[in-house]
Amino acid sequence: MAKSFWQNRTRLSAAGIVFGILLCSTLMASQNGGLPGSPLRLSAGAVASGTGGAYSADPEFMLSWYNPAQLSLLRDTRASVGAGLRSLGRTEGWASFDFRVPPRMGMGLSFVYRGDPFLDDMYDGYYDQETVVEEKSLGAMNYSFLTMKIGAGYLVSKRLTLGASVAIMHQSLPAIPQEGKMLNSTSTSIGAFDIAAAYKINKKMILSAVLRNIGARNTWNISSEDGYGQTVEEQIPLSLALAGSYRGSLLGRDLVWNLDLVNYIFDADLTLFDHPEMVVGTGVDWSFRDDLCLRAGFSDLELSSELYRRSDEYWDGFSPRVTLGFSYQLDKLSEGMAFNYALTTDRVWAGIDQQFDITFVF
């Protein structure tokens, strides 16, 4: 009787916390495009993307990326490698390797590339009042954002695990056209931390909290025409992901429901944003057959006070992603291997985003 009560209270508390943050955030929130580290907001991996990017509570792959605390719960070794092509030429690639370190630990490594190698229809020149001056093609250019994370998790108790990861980031951005070539500005960030905690309420439900980008600072080396560049430092804002995962069943088949509430409330100095942002992603993962799993969800649903303050603008900018995906087991080829595919809308209807990867469990 007492155990049941405790369980109910936990669920009630978790729901209360989520509801409270949701309510507080919606009072002030708005969409904050253009903040440093925007490529980091996209979900990495076809499994994650298929379920609306809601992957922080109980990830199967790329644990050091999503939730290093869960590394300690690994019972096997997992790896993934994949690529994605998003609308307007945005591309990505990733790889991960997660393994158990008995008795209470797990470790993981993940690598994510994001960029735009199709910056090939751009021009130099300018408008002098109404007249076009010196318009010429800039030639092919390339933007890239590389991130590597190394994480570790520790099993504190039967229900509670903690984890942390450290990241290295590097960006290269075309900056100065000069004599037919393009000088790039680069930025490097070393030592950005994520810390995570996961709590297993029961066999069906896990709640997690992941605080990302602690101390993440991009140090930009800005190119200049005279060769004397400057160094500019910018901070990637913190994000707090509150996530839950619930395992149930549908039509006699396993069903997992995931939910991520990602909050952008503080900057790197823990100063409250003028307009904090809360983004919801959620999705389900249904085992349609033993070898086929179907996924669906939506992500990037902005919870914003503009919904009632300026509803026209809210709906004008309303742009969640709709996601679909599947996994197909390739055990015939190799035990534990699977092919994963995800298809998502891109928020601006310029095209669709596609991701695929191969995952291994051994």
Q: Decide: 72 and 108 in contact? Cβ < 8 Å.
A: no
Question: Which residues between 84 and 113 bind another protein (CB under 8 A)?
Answer: 88-90
Question: Which residues between 206 and 225 bind another protein (CB under 8 A)?
Answer: 218, 220, 222-223
Residue among 19 and 123 whose Cβ is closer to another protein: 123
Residue among 80 and 299 whose Cβ is closer to another protein: 299
Report how far residue 100's alpha carbon sits from residue 78's, in angstroms, rounded to the nearest whole number: 9
Q: Decide: 342 and 49 in contact? Cβ < 8 Å.
A: yes
Question: Which residues between 135 and 154 bind another protein (CB under 8 A)?
Answer: 135-136, 138, 141, 143, 145
Q: To the nearest whole angstrom, how small is the minimum distance from the Cβ of residue 2 to another protein?
A: 46
Q: Which of 95, 105, 119, 168 binds another protein (CB under 8 A)?
A: 119
Q: Which of 1, 3, 75, 129 binds another protein (CB under 8 A)?
A: 129
Note whether 38 binds another protein by CB under 8 A: yes
Site string for another protein, 9-28 (x = CB under 8 A): --------------------
Site string for another protein, 249-288 (x = CB under 8 A): -------------------------x--------------
Closest CA relative to residue 110, chosen from 170, 162, 65, 56: 65
Q: To the nearest whole angstrom, how small is the minimum distance from the Cβ of residue 174 to another protein?
A: 6
Token couple for 313:
């603008």
Q: Which of 122, 140, 190, 292 binds another protein (CB under 8 A)?
A: 122
Note whether 170 binds another protein by CB under 8 A: no
Note whether 352 binds another protein by CB under 8 A: no
Note whether 42 binds another protein by CB under 8 A: yes
Note whether 134 binds another protein by CB under 8 A: yes
Note whether 179 binds another protein by CB under 8 A: yes
Residue among 288 and 318 whose Cβ is closer to another protein: 318
Q: Which of 3, 121, 181, 332 binds another protein (CB under 8 A)?
A: 121
Using the rule CB under 8 A, give the single segment among 101-109, 114-122, 241-249, 284-292 that binds another protein.
114-122
Q: To the nearest whole angstrom, how small is the minimum distance from the Cβ of residue 216 to another protein?
A: 12
Q: Which of 1, 2, 75, 133 binds another protein (CB under 8 A)?
A: 133
Q: Decide: 209 and 196 in contact? Cβ < 8 Å.
A: yes
Q: Decide: 96 and 360 in contact? Cβ < 8 Å.
A: no
| # binding residues, another protein (CB under 8 A) | 63
Q: Which of 36, 50, 59, 84 binds another protein (CB under 8 A)?
A: 36
Note whether 78 binds another protein by CB under 8 A: no
C-alpha distances out from residue 40 to 67, 175, 269, Å: 14, 21, 19
Element (H, E) at 183: strand 181-200
List residues binding another protein (CB under 8 A). 31-39, 41-42, 88-90, 114, 116, 119, 121-136, 138, 141, 143, 145, 171, 173-177, 179-180, 185, 187, 218, 220, 222-223, 232, 234, 274, 300, 316-317, 319, 346-350
